[in-house]
Amino acid sequence: MQKVVFYPLSFRLRSWSLPARLITGTLVVFAVTWFFHAYQWFWLRGSFLLAGTDVAFWVLFGALVAVNTFWEARHGR
């Protein structure tokens, strides 16, 4: 996902600040990842998965990873 989604998006958004690029890229990667997981569910089960718990998981996990990415860019490890 980093090579296919994150890097191309980051290069297209070069005029944005680094934190904005990191957060936007991370959230877009999570959206694409969720889509592919939902497509896999559709392919296996025949119905598109859009449950509240699934949406809550991906939104919460994506937000936490975006905050962590921003934190590491600011303060380091």
Question: Which sequence spans correspond to the domains of the chain?
Answer: 2-75
Angle separating helix axes 52-75 and 18-45, nearest 10 degrees: 150
- In a structure prediction context, what are the per-residue pLDDT tens digits for the chain, which is 77 residues long? 889 999 999 999 999 998 899 989 999 998 999 899 889 988 998 887 778 888 898 889 989 998 998 898 888 77
Residue 18 CA to residue 22 CA, distance in Å, equals 6
Provide the pLDDT for residue 75.
83
Tell me the whole-structure pTM to 2 decimals: 0.78
